[in-house]
Amino acid sequence: MALPVTAAQAATQCEVSYSTNDWPGGFTASVTIKNVGDALNGWTLGFTFPDSGQRVGQGWAARWAQSGQEVSAQNESWNGAVASGATLSLGFNGSWSGSNPKPTSFTLNGTVCNGGTPTTPPTSSSPSPTTTPTASPTPSPTGPTTPPGPKVDNPYAGVRGYVNPEWKAKAESVAGGNRVSNNPTAVWLDRIAAINGTPDSSSNGAMGVRDHLDEALRQGAGYIQFVIYNLPGRDCAALASNGELGPNELPKYKSDYIDPIAAIQADPKYKDLRIVNIIEIDSIPNLHTNTGGSPGATAMCDTVKANGAYINGVGYALAKLGAIGNVYNYIDAAHHGWIGWDSNFSPVATLLHQAAIASGSTVDNVTGFIVNTANYSALKEPYFKVTDTVNGQMVRQSKWVDWNFYVDELSFAQAFRQELISKGFRNNIGMLIDTSRNGWGGSARPTGPGPMTNVDAYVNGGRIDRRIHAGNWCNQAGAGLGERPRANPEPGIDAYVWVKPPGESDGSSTAIPNDEGKGFDRMCDPTYTGNARNGYSMTGALPNAPISGAWFPAQFAQLMQNAYPALS
């Protein structure tokens, strides 16, 4: 109940709940403010720590400050307006010495809120941030104010994934789509407007982050997946997926994109839902392979490497989102056809570690990594190995393999996991593999090795991946749905996932004006004869494709037709 206030203060009335998840020397605080007075246009929360050893560290959804034992939290630019009856969720990571008692009084714009009966959860079983016990929190459709339970080692294990009703409806609009429409897919947050949801236009649905989280609770889902995808100068080497933010707009990325997402995900209402964030597709690897005069170098990639937009943006996202007790972050790590060569393998792992400890983050904010996101690399190549030889020539010498050390995603993901651990990541990190479009079934799927006449005939005759070139990535003709999403399929692999929702375009076949900042990339043009990055090969792209993220029913029909395992 709100405390009575004087007539002069009657415009501001408030209720505050404060809860913590404690461990020796540290804690995460979750603060909920309910405005029970008039609408606010700007706010400042104030309270006093009872112990002089308590300190505020990194916070979210507010500008936090501390002087002595006095703490203040001032609104950000995006959450200053608070309607009557509305609720704010904010919080911070803190440290303590001696004891960690809860504040007993709070003010909002100088007005005293409720006297406070803060929730004090048991601390004996509360782990440090580096602990990952395997106990699973009990899903609950309600939103108690106690903090989340201990993190699990694998957020995909033992629970059902969230089915996006917007994707489900599109899938079922295509004949036979109901065979796969109940699979969990990720929600892509590819621009600021997607946070609150947009009218159902070309590539964004009407549902925002909170809508999806509420629907996940309604479904009784155990986990939900979001793609965090809006870096400054995004996709610096691929025009089709360029974004809305310029290369120098890192402050806007932080304040207008990451902070609002973190504020919603931190709402205690969702504490029992495992929130998986896929962090910035095709970003960090570009800093090594497409900069500094390399064959794929672009001016934009050179810019975001020089100004630190990617490294610091990813670090900031990890720190903000990783501070939330029930959030699990997986960083995108490209695919074997991009960084499988020894010249790329270790340097990209080093860059990923640099990002994980940038902008106040630590490796403890990284649950794992994902490979093959929105790509087509085969999960397994059963009919040839990188160590095979034909007439004295190694498979690595074939035109398709091109001296790569890996020929499929599973072997690459398992090996890259070990490389990442050697760079300083925790030894319990897990890998995800996006299998949404790498099935390569249908009548063109090989059933045995190719002829032994020469190394190219051997590889081309037996390879599952039927692309013209392994560098082709846009709306590939002949592709099919891959393994269905499931947890713990192989050692070191947390899950096979459908992060790229099948049927959503990679990019338009021709230039299409749009208000989403998405350009036209010739790699999506089926008539284009290629560039240095795909060996000057044809693109293999489907015709008549819409802009990236938009629904492409012809592609979805093809993916079902060529699914492997086949659909019944």
> Is 282 an active-site residue?
yes
Phi and psi based region of residue 359 (left: phi greater than 0; alpha: psi -120 to 50; beta: remaining): left
- Helix H segments across 193-308? 193-196, 209-219, 250-252, 259-265, 286-289, 299-306
Q: Closest Cα partner for 371 from 415, 322, 426, 309?
A: 415
Cβ–Cβ < 8 Å for 191, 261: no
Which residue type occupies 142?
A: T
Assigned token pair, 107 = 């003010």
User: Which of 388, 506, 521, 525 is an active site residue?
Assistant: 506
Cβ–Cβ < 8 Å for 494, 366: no
Q: Is 90 helix (H, G, I), strand (E, B) or coil?
A: strand
Residue 542 CA to residue 505 CA, distance in Å, equals: 10
C-alpha distances (whole Å) from 180 to each of 169, 216, 502, 550 are: 11, 18, 10, 19
Q: How many CB atoms lie within 10 A of CB 78?
A: 15
Q: Closest Cα partner for 312 from 345, 276, 280, 264?
A: 280
* Kind and range of the H or E run holding 45: strand 44-48
Q: Closest Cα partner for 116 from 237, 262, 259, 1?
A: 1
What φ, ψ does residue 107 adopt, rounded to 5°? -125, 150
> Is 494 an active-site residue?
no
Which residue type occupies 43?
A: W
What φ, ψ does residue 396 adopt, rounded to 5°? -60, -20
User: Which of 282, 388, 465, 521 is an active site residue?
Assistant: 282
Partners of residue 331 on adjacent β-strands: 279, 369
DSSP letters for 338-387 = HH-SHHHHHHHHHHHHHHHTSTT--GGG--EEEESTT----S--TT--TT
Residue 443 CA to residue 458 CA, distance in Å, equals: 19
Q: Mind telling me the catalytic residues? A: 282, 506
